[in-house]
A and B are shown apart, each in its own frame.
Chain A
């Protein structure tokens, strides 16, 4: 009997929703990590070095019940949003001009390549040296690292617009304004969204990193504070808050927007990842 047929027989005994429903798979994945974490922490007596899910859950709950987290959380959110807005403006503009002008493509492509390869720590350190301890440091660091990803995606989106659709529009005397709105913008949107989503995640990471280097509040600052105090549970508690926020933004906001904007892809069984 082949390995594949054995696998099929085993899978055949498991209820289908356990390995097909994405929400169930998500819960299974989280649960598996928590169980392994708890087993390793307890079984190997490593609660001092990796804490345990229960300890972190308790301290996260305690943190959320106090009002301490609000000021740091809102400071980080504010910087991420500012950074993301700046990233969107610069990334979209650069991507479009690169896609529409050969001169701009040749002039900017190398900078985008350098930007894509630049280590995040460099941006955080340089921004800290230039702007010191302020809101601008995490915002600029996030933007410098994130915008090349968005620009590259938008540039490819503009390049991939189906020229036949533009010719069809011309044949039916469709105005330039309508073509830009209904063909160009819609054509670039999947790549723009994929790039914006990735850039948003990068802004989160770099903002937290920059807060570690140069901030007097924020999630990154609090992680650094607990790190200096060698409080592992403190570091993990703030990391848990960071992780929970990312998951809420991903599933509660970004995926909902994606479903609405790309309903034509959902209807036809295509998915967003194909556009990235």
Chain B
């Protein structure tokens, strides 16, 4: 695990907001379909997608380029309208609206704002927001010495950490992550995966993680959904205990099984 990662001995230390943390929400995707109108006619991206995700679960959606992963994430995050079906989020115990936290492939930070300013930007509707919340969020991802730095003064990995801190600062019921480590070098990506797992184990948020990297999916997730040819063709529970060693026999064996399953759609 990276040494600059902020450590905490208990969940209380990771509580970002002064108000009660909202915890994790469940995701219910029902009969989801998406088509696009093209010059050649109507093109179906996927149809009849049904997924239920329990609160606090780390789920990966795995698929090849063009399989519709990002389209599905855009629908889940309400950026795109589905052609059919709906997506619902629920907290187990109350009726409160579920906040979504977004982490993008590129961090999408405002270059003219500092790290704290970038977090402050997304808290327009939060009356309880103070810069202390932003600083605590940055502490969480190991950026305690970078509060007032601008994105251009940070490395790629640090910028992505700011993106994660920004998402976590909203105390989301669901964290939506769109290939967040795919633009980073492998060593940085590896460190960030460890840090993400560390944060997840403390905050216990529901994570919906898009990737095309099988090893990353197995390392991170409880459950792997495979998207291809317009449908979810595999739904694998990850049997491996955490922490997961990438070179362990169990890891390699499960990886092989998952890879075989992944390619089964082509046969």
Contacts and interface: CB of A to CB of B under 8 A. Distances in A.
Interface in A211-237: none
Nearest to A190: B112
A169 B111 CA distance: 14
A163 to B, nearest CB: 10
B110 A186 contact: yes
Nearest to A162: B108
B124 A165 contact: no
A171 interface: yes
B152 interface: yes
Given A183-B110, A186-B112, A267-B153, A175 B124 contact: yes
B17 to A, nearest CB: 16
Contact of A174 (B77, B106, B124): B124
Given A172-B122, A178-B124, A264 B170 contact: no
Given A164-B108, A267-B150, A171 B113 contact: no
Contact of B153 (A172, A178, A182, A268): A268
Nearest to A175: B124
Interface residues of B, number: 21
A174 B122 contact: yes
B147 interface: no
Contacts of A164: 104, 106, 108
B170 A165 contact: no
A148 to B, nearest CB: 27
- Is chain B's binding surface mostly helix, strand, loop or mixed? loop
Contact of B113 (A173, A264, A269): A264
Interface in A158-197: 162, 164-165, 167-175, 178, 182-183, 186, 189
B150 A174 contact: no
Given A171-B79, A172-B102, A264 B150 contact: yes
Interface string A248-267: 00000000000000001001
A171 B75 CA distance: 11
A183 B107 CA distance: 15
A270 interface: yes
A150 to B, nearest CB: 21
Given A164-B106, A168-B104, A268-B152, A174 B111 contact: no
Contact of A168 (B108, B114, B150, B153): B108
A21 to B, nearest CB: 24
A165 B153 contact: no
Nearest to A262: B112
Nearest to B154: A268
Interface in B23-56: none
A189 B113 CA distance: 14
Interface string B97-119: 00010101010101111100000
A170 B110 contact: no
- Sorted nearest first, the 7 A-B pairs with minimum C-beta distance are A268-B152, A172-B122, A168-B108, A171-B102, A264-B112, A264-B150, A186-B112
Interface of A: 162, 164-165, 167-175, 178, 182-183, 186, 189, 264, 267-270
7 contacts: A168-B104, A171-B77, A174-B122, A178-B124, A267-B150, A268-B111, A270-B152
